[in-house]
Amino acid sequence: MGCKLKATVGIDDFEIYEREPEVGGTWYINNYPGCANDIPIIVYSFSFAQKDWGNSQWAPQPRIEGYIRDVVKDFNLSDHIHVKRTMLNANWNKEKEYWVVTIKNNETGEIFTRTSNILISAHGGLDVPRPIDTPGIETFKGDILRSQRYDQTVDLTGKNVVVIGNACTATQIIGEIAPKVKTLTQFARGKQWFLPKPVVHLGHPVVRWMLKYIPGLHTALRGLVFGVVDYFMKAMYVKNGEATRKKRMETSKRHVKNLAPAKYHDALIPDFQIGAKRRIFDEDYLKSLNYDHVDLIAERPARITENSVVRQDGTEVPADVIIYAIGFDTTTNKFLENFNNNGLNLRQHFANVGTGAYLGAAVAPLPNFFLLGTASPNCASGHNSVIFTSECTANFIIRVIKPIVYAKKGTVHVTKEAERKYQEWIREKHQEMIWETENVGSFYLDNNTGKNTALYPRSHTHYWWSTLIPKDSDFVYENVSKPWLLQFTSKKAMSAYGTALVAGTATWFLA
């Protein structure tokens, strides 16, 4: 958003508050061994900050974190970013037409306020670790590590390590640490679909030369990779995706059978359809299951003692270190209580109308307020890049707020009707998707309602198109003129297009 504000609209008058001591978000907080992207990096990067990543399209966490820092530097954002500052709450002042934001300085404990015409919350969705619920955890004498804020000073060499979890994070950790530990036991209560990592070979000197010197080639390649990745949205449709799903599930079964020992095939191959959970591209984890010192236990742990993890049948697995890779708490986001307009906060609003936002960005009762990134409901994907949707949302927000930003006055809010219709559309389209019918439980689904509040139920191309031109009738502007772009989608403009179309067709027939 910062880059867009600076580069697209030339606005310098903004501030970014970040709770952690460094920028990076996901890529700062998730620092576990083996952490990497799971979508080709050429797509998992900003369109306005494209980079030649070299031969590999799979970048480890430190490289992605470094990339984010480079973007901050290249766009001169450092002066705008205040780290170690936690936003506590924000209240809309109707008379003054601004937000009053309360912030805590984490270093000094000082609490201060800032006012702003526009408030954008990009507070993330995958940053609060899921609570550990294994009985006896408090009695354990060894090290307990979590995938988030992983303590890298703990040496795993020669130790008995237990990993709990079986999704992207757990499998990346196991693939990385298996060779150096004494024993490694994984407790996996669920199953996942594993696919071979698609490899785009870009290391040949001729390819390197072409990418460096042929203008537009890198962008074209990015577009091509994006198209291929987005095509796999097809597999998520219950009806039309059946053939694609079948092919992918066959590929996955072959892949697992080729790489993992036969004794684990039943424990590894899911009985639900691919797409219900985010697929995992992996080779290292499956291969590591062949080590004699690595054991996969297809159940949740029963309890924990001082020095072991106990299986459901009472057998004890010795443990010096337990690594929890059990994901994130995505539903108890306390932060939502902190955005208020006259006593109505975002949590109450979601409770009244359902969790959701118009195009993931705007909610009717909060003027001049927008959500962005994984904080945006229904904007993530199970198949493509979250960076892409975040960029689309940021562009959309800018198109809507431009006049207020320039005039430093006025308000805009999405209409209740537009919000309601959009929500209805989201719910209706989700019913056509595989995660809704399979309903195997995942972080996609709201624990309380069982509804998918994480994913966009169509392709990323569709989201891009939907966010391209804001619809005039969906927004109310007060004390400020509308953005010129909205004039093209106003009722007047629409009827002018209609008249022109009818007149044009009639002329063509009559001529």
Ligand X SMILES: NC(=O)c1ccc[n+]([C@@H]2O[C@H](COP(=O)([O-])OP(=O)(O)OC[C@H]3O[C@@H](n4cnc5c(N)ncnc54)[C@H](OP(=O)(O)O)[C@@H]3O)[C@@H](O)[C@H]2O)c1
232 vs 291 by CB, closer to ligand FAD:
232
Cβ–Cβ under 8 Å, residues 414 and 362: yes
Does residue 373 belong to the site contacting ligand FAD (CB under 6 A)?
yes
For residue 122, state whether it binds ligand FAD (rule: CB under 6 A): yes
Cβ contact 269:166 at 8 Å: no
3-state class (DSSP) for residue 45: coil
Among 4, 6, 15, 19, binds ligand FAD (CB under 6 A): 19
Q: Mutual orientation of helices 416-430 and 346-353 as an angle, nearest 10°?
A: 60
Quick check: 86 binds ligand FAD (CB under 6 A)?
yes
Of residues 2 and 165, the one with the C-beta less far from ligand X: 165
Q: How far is the CB of 510 from ligand X (least distance, A)?
A: 58
The single residue listed with the structure tokens 């203008």 is: 215
Decide if residue 384 touches ligand X (CB under 6 A). no
* Residue 37 engages ligand X in binding (rule: CB under 6 A): yes
* Cβ-based neighbours of 398, under 8 Å, separated by 6 or more: 4, 5, 8, 9
Task: Indicate the pairing of strand 339-341 with strand 475-478.
Answer: unpaired
d(CA 293, CA 291) in angstroms, rounded, equals 5
Binding of ligand X at residue 373 (CB under 6 A)?
no
Q: Give the C-alpha separation, 145 to 150, whole Å.
A: 6
Span near ligand FAD by CB under 6 A; candidates 5-13, 35-43, 74-82, 197-205: 35-43
Give yes or no for residue 22 binding ligand FAD (CB under 6 A).
Answer: no
Measured CA to CA, the distance from residue 142 to residue 321 in angstroms comes to 6
By CB under 6 A, residue 382 contacts ligand FAD: no
Near ligand FAD by CB under 6 A: residue from 3, 5, 34, 37? 37
Site residues (CB under 6 A) for ligand X, limited to 406-445: 441, 443
What x/- string results for residues 290 through 329 when contact with ligand FAD is judged by CB under 6 A?
Answer: ----------------------------------------
> Among 335, 396, 435, 443, which residue sits at the site for ligand FAD (rule: CB under 6 A)?
335
Least distance (Å) from ligand FAD to the CB of residue 67?
A: 11
Which option in ligand X, ligand FAD, none does residue 398 bind, with CB closer than 5 to 8 A by kind?
Answer: none
Closest to 311 (Cα-Cα) out of 192, 190, 191, 185: 185
CB 252 within 8 A of CB 265: no
DSSP, res 194: E
Does 461 help bind ligand FAD (rule: CB under 6 A)? no
Q: What share of the chain is helix, strand, coil (3-state, %, to 5)?
A: 40, 20, 40
What is the tally of helices (H) and strands (E) in the chain? 16, 21
- How many Cα atoms occupy the beta-carbon half-sphere of 357 within 13 Å? 30
> Cβ of residue 379: shortest distance to ligand X, in angstroms?
13
DSSP string, 222-263: HHHHHHHHHHGGGGGBTTTTHHHHHHHHHHHHHHHHHHS-GG
d(CA 357, CA 423): 7
Q: Choose which of 23, 29, 90, 164 interacts with ligand X (CB under 6 A).
A: 164
**Can residue 311 be called a binding residue for ligand X (CB under 6 A)?**
no
Go through 85-115 and write b for each residue having 16 or more CB atoms within 10 A of its CB, e for each that does not.
Answer: bebeebbbeeeebbbbbebbeeeeeeeeebe
Contact flag: residue 177 with ligand FAD (CB under 6 A): no
Q: Decide: is 255 part of the binding site for ligand X (CB under 6 A).
A: no
Contact 96, 351 (CB under 8 A): no
Name the minimum Å distance from CB 280 to ligand FAD.
11
CB of 267 to ligand X, least distance (A): 12
- State residue 262 phi and psi, 5-degree precision: -55, -35
Report what 165 binds from ligand FAD, ligand X, none; CB cut-off 5-8 Å by kind. Answer: ligand X
Nearest to 390 by CA among 279, 467, 285: 467
Provide, rounded to whole angstroms, the least separation between the CB of residue 121 and ligand X. 20
When asked if residue 279 is in the footprint of ligand X (CB under 6 A), the reply is: no
User: Which of 15, 20, 22, 38 is close enough to bind ligand X by CB under 6 A?
Assistant: 38
Q: From the list ligand FAD, ligand X, none, which binds 300 (C-beta under 5 to 8 Å, kind-based)?
A: ligand X
User: Of ligand FAD, ligand X, none, which one sits near residue 354, judging by CB under 5 to 8 A according to partner kind?
Assistant: none
124 part of the interface to ligand FAD, by CB under 6 A: yes
Contact criterion met (CB below 8 Å) for 105 and 85: yes
For residue 83, give the H/E element and its range.
none
Q: Which is nearer to ligand FAD, 86 or 395 (CB)?
A: 86
Which position has the token pair 């159940």?
299
Using rule CB under 6 A, residue 385 touches ligand FAD: yes
Could you say whether residue 126 binds ligand X (CB under 6 A)? yes
Q: What pairing do the DSSP bridges indicate for beta strands 294-297 and 183-187?
A: parallel
The DSSP H or E segment spanning 479 is none
With binding defined as CB under 6 A, does residue 226 bind ligand FAD?
A: no
Q: Which residues bind ligand X (CB under 6 A)?
A: 36-38, 126, 130, 133, 147, 164-170, 172, 189-190, 278, 300, 325-328, 441, 443
Which residues contact ligand FAD (rule: CB under 6 A)?
17-20, 25-26, 30, 35, 37-39, 44, 86-87, 122-124, 126-127, 169, 335, 373-375, 385-386, 390
